[in-house]
Amino acid sequence: MLPLDGITVISVEQAVAAPFATRQLADLGARVIKVERPGTGDFARGYDETVRGMSSHFVWLNRSKESIALDLKRPEDAAVLRRLVDRADVFVQNLAPGAAGRLGLDAATLTGANPRLVVCAISGYGTGGPYTDQKAYDLLVQCESGAMSLTGTPEAPAKVGIPVADIAAAMYAYSGILTALYERERTGRGSAFEVSMLEALGEWMGYPGYFTRYGGAQPPRSGAEHAAIAPYGPYATRDGVRVFLGVQNEREWEDFCARVLDAPQLATDPRFARNSLRVENRDALRTRIEERFAALSAVEAERRLESARIAHARLRDVTEFADHPQLAARNRWRTVDSPVGPLDALLPPVTVAGREPRMDRVPALDEDRERILAELDATATGLQRIRT
């Protein structure tokens, strides 16, 4: 038995944020019914065709769900959705600004009909304020949140390579739904909440926010290095390989100097005696480290770092990550079904001994229509029999 067995989630969802939140609920055993547009479905289905003709985003975000296509502007389809929501535990939507209200899917209306319902609305900028009606995509929220001003090189900003604004919003929606379900166990009543992508990513901007507000200037863009910690980043070795390392405290700094660089006196050099000075004198510090690494191969440098218990890593590409020996040793890959056949899928990161997460099929568009409608008809027939 999984923790959310018996919980039904209805989600009018698209793209990344809401689908990622609800997929994680499905991982825990919830029944997730995904409501899509007739004909085209969730527009993330069309982002690319790289997974044997299916979209990589869609495969990632939509396993273990059921799909029904409804045109919510048609009264009969809108009525089907309301019947689904009236018997559900959770309703999620990330429609365009204002659309939920126009469709009668606002929280007040839905919880009025189903007081135990948990309602989650995900938007770009939240309700109220000058940005309420702005469309929001991941890149745009990375810009508006200041995140993109921190990422890249001193010469040019860069978008984070994964959709961090969407993922941030999804994680707060997911935890918010779990919190609301727990609260319902205590009170017997559901609740409604919203998550904005701007505020979700803004929470992740905590360290640069405080750094900037009280330091007078924001952390500089520093490529693969850390703007506020040194040494922390890539350093070239004799064979041209860059070894990434991170020194987090003064004890590690002393060990790094003595056992990796063979230069214990460097630990007390006035330019490097504490982290803020090392950041201030980053170029000189890099020179000293790479002077020593110039005599070491990457393997030799890694052996020294391991011996000194200094955190380090190799830069892997995505293929190398998929083949990572740690994932293989921990048996983290599974196979899920899909309209294009079996596909590899990485297990969710929360590991509970003796519990296997749900890893079911990725649905085709409208694949579950007949069964879902039959269930509604059976329920309506049963209710009619009870009344008569």
Q: What is the CATH number of the domain that holds 296?
A: 3.30.1540.10
- Polymer length in residues for the chain: 388
Number of independent structural domains in the chain: 2
Q: Is 260 exposed, middle or buried (0-12, 13-18, 19+ CB in 10 A)?
A: buried
Inside any domain, residue 226:
no
321 in a domain, yes or no?
no
Cis peptide preceding 234, ω within 30 of 0: no
What does the pLDDT look like over 117-176, one tens digit per residue? 999 999 999 999 999 999 899 999 999 999 999 999 999 999 999 999 999 999 999 999
Which residues are the active-site residues?
Answer: 226
Environment class of 181 (CB within 10 Å of its CB; exposed 0-12, middle 13-18, buried 19+): buried
Domain shared by 306 and 341, yes or no: no
Same domain, 28 and 156: yes
Q: What gap in Å lies between CA 217 and CA 245, rounded to an integer?
A: 26
How far is 165 from 185, CA to CA, in rounded Å? Answer: 31
Q: Are residues 240 and 155 in the same domain?
A: no
At 75, the amino acid letter reads: P
Please report whether residue 1 resides in a domain.
no
Q: Rounded distance, CA 270 to CA 290, Å? A: 19
The answer to whether residue 160 is domain-embedded is: yes
Residue ranges in the chain modelled with pLDDT below 50: 382-388
CATH number at residue 378: 3.40.50.10540
Shared-domain flag, residues 166 and 54: yes
Query: Bridge-partner residues for 11, per DSSP?
Result: 34, 92
Identify the pLDDT of residue 383: 42
Q: Specify if 330 maps to a domain.
A: no
Say how far apart CA 9 and CA 26 lie, in whole Å. Answer: 9
Question: Are residue 275 and residue 156 in the same domain, yes or no?
Answer: no
Residue 352 tokens, joined = 């509970």
Q: What are the DSSP calls for 244-260, one per residue?
A: EEE--SHHHHHHIIIII
Query: Domain for residue 252, yes or no?
Result: yes
pLDDT at residue number 377 = 87
Q: Is residue 342 part of a domain?
A: yes
Burial of 280 (0-12, 13-18, 19+ CB in 10 A): middle
If asked whether residues 283 and 163 sit together in one domain, one would say no
Q: Are residues 341 and 309 in the same domain?
A: no
Number of Cβ within 10 Å of residue 86's Cβ equals 14
Task: Give me the pLDDT at residue 295, please.
Answer: 95
From 253, 280, 313, give the residue that closes a domain: 313
Output the pLDDT for position 381: 52
pLDDT at residue 380 in the model? 56
- Report whether 260 contacts 305 (CB < 8 A): yes
Residue 277 shares a structural domain with residue 352: no
Q: Are residues 154 and 276 in the same domain?
A: no
Residue 382 is predicted with a pLDDT of 47
In this structure, are 309 and 342 located in the same domain?
no
CA angle 203, 204, 207 (to 5 degrees): 100
Residues 177 and 141 in one domain: yes
Q: Residue 227: what pLDDT? A: 86
Could you tell me if 28 and 86 lie in one domain?
yes
Cα end-to-end span (Å), the chain: 36
Out of 281, 313, 345, a domain closes at: 313
Structural domain contains residue 133: yes
The domain of 281 spans: 232-313
C-alpha triplet 60, 65, 70: angle, nearest 5°: 110
